[in-house]
A and B are shown apart, each in its own frame.
Chain A
Amino acid sequence: MSSEAQVQQAPVTPSFAMLRTLGSIATLSGLLVVLVYHFTLPIIAENQRIAIEKAIFQVVPGAVSRKDFIAVGDRLLPADSEGAQGERIYAAYAADGRLRGVALQAAAQGYQDVIKVLYGYGPECQCIIGMKVLKMAETPGLGDKIASDPGFLRNFEALDAQVDAGGAGLAHPIVTVKHGAKTEPWQIDAISGATVSSKAIGRMLNASAQHLIPLIQRDLALLQHSN
């Protein structure tokens, strides 16, 4: 190509050339993205399954398999039943197929943003047997201790969650108390310096447990065996 031809061509690029170039680049882009999406989709789905199972088996110690149920209104339905829409709960079973506990999700506003947790309910002791923070944006070094502080996590090894005589709620509401002031098994001992985040955990567990644990106790037979 001579330099004269370039000088003459340079100012006018035909609209068609612009459309063609942008069009081809967009097509190529679409092709690449869809290709990678399809390739990574099963891997990502598997990662998500592993992540949720790891969390479930952590809050229900001793469990090795799970079955999902959905709480619809005041009933529990297997997750695969048609049209079931509601809160998902995870029944977790030991190697011999016996129910070890049920993993439940709860959420509430923390200091910075909404905190989401998964917690385990053990029907045998009628208590909360584990808690794991799934998502939070609490301040590092202060509020984020709710996920790691060993003293705080000990609250959730056997946190009383008995259903009241009427079977409509908890006998004793779960509450967070100031650090060092815990006297009852249904109280959560707050982390000093992170009382706001600790209270959020208490509030979300109480709200979720008041609603779901009576349902679980009532429909325990449905959950009892892994098959």
Chain B
Amino acid sequence: MPTLPNQEEKVTLDTFLRGLWEENPVFVMLLGMCPVLAVTNSVRNALAMGLATTFVLLASGTLVSLLRKLIPKQVRIAAYIVIIATFVTIVDYTIQAISLDLYNALGAFIQLIVVNCIILGRAEAYASKQRLGATLVNGLGMGIGFTFALLCLGAVRELLGNGTLLGLQVFSDQFQPWVVMILPPGGFFVLGAWLLLFAWLRQRRERRLLEQQGASVHGR
């Protein structure tokens, strides 16, 4: 269950780690599925999208948090969208300046960061109520959690679909790539497999916890 703190939170390790595991935006909250499926056909694209989203998350979180006392409730969504769109435009130009190849590979999905619900969700549920420090720590955790999830998909899809990792040959030439992995259906397959794995891991951990509690009760 995602926590939506209404009081100012003290920065703890949990503030950071929540986005990585307990509230992982992709594997737990199932947010931002559009880039998750669309640009994870290679590790490079996944990493670039993850970093770009993390930057927007941090930059927009900073402004929203700093201005949180000044933005009237009635116009807050409009204000957040303008702030987010500003930083997405900045990322767009920056990626064009860094590498046109990368920019072409990511296509329209850079601009679509504007409507990534992870970012608006963080602005609304967290940054608008929290101090700058907590916002940055939490946003960084979410950003890394998102990037990690994209890399999980990107690595599997590039490996199986192309026989490479980060463009480096992994399998011998004998390997016949599973082209479907690079195509959109492959995104769904791999996402499904990861969700299954994460659900299984979570369940196992909960069962262990229950057993331990049971054991300690009996032991007493």
- A and B bind: yes
Residues of A within 8 A of B (CB): 13, 17-18, 21-22, 25-26, 28-29, 32-33, 36-37, 40, 43-44, 47-48, 51, 135, 139-142
Complex CA gap A135/B71 in Å reads 44
Q: Which of B144-176 contact A (CB under 8 A)?
A: 161-162
Q: Which residues of B contact A (CB under 8 A)?
A: 41, 67, 70-75, 78-79, 82-83, 85-86, 89-90, 93-94, 96-97, 99-100, 104, 161-162, 177, 179, 182-183
CB pairs A–B below 8 angstroms (10 shown): A17-B72, A18-B75, A29-B82, A33-B89, A36-B94, A37-B93, A44-B100, A47-B96, A47-B97, A140-B183
Is the pair A13, B74 in contact by a Cβ cutoff of 8 Å? Answer: yes
| Contact A140–B93 (Cβ < 8 Å) | no
In the bound complex, how far is the Cα of B79 from the Cα of A141, in angstroms?
44
Which listed residue, A22, A29, A43, touches B97 by the CB 8 Å rule? A43
Q: A25-B79, A139-B183 are in contact. Are A36 and B93 (CB under 8 A)?
A: yes
Of chain A, the residue at the smallest CB distance from B88 is A33
Bound CA–CA A51/B86 (angstroms): 27
Q: Residue of A at shortest CB range from B96?
A: A44
Would you call the interface of chain B mostly helix, strand, loop, or mixed? helix
CB pair A140–B85 under 8 Å, yes or no, is no
Whether the Cβ atoms of B86 and A13 lie closer than 8 Å is: no
Q: Distance (Å) between the CB of B52 and the closest chain A CB?
A: 14
> Are B79's CB and A21's CB within 8 A?
yes
Known: A22-B78, A33-B89, A43-B97. A140 touches B70 (CB 8 A): no
Instruction: Please indicate the chain B residues that have their CB under 8 angstroms from the CB of A18 in the complex.
Output: 72, 74-75
Query: Of B78, B90, B182, which contacts A32 at CB under 8 A?
Result: B90
Q: B86 and A29: CB pair below 8 A?
A: yes
Chain B residue contacts of A21, Cβ below 8 A: 67, 70-72, 75, 79
Q: Give bound CA distance, A48 to B90, whole Å.
A: 18
Taking a contact as CB atoms under 8 Å apart, the answer to whether B183 and A33 are in contact is no
**A107 vs B182: C-alpha distance in the bound complex, in angstroms?**
25
Known A21-B79, A47-B100: A141·B177 in contact at CB below 8 Å: yes
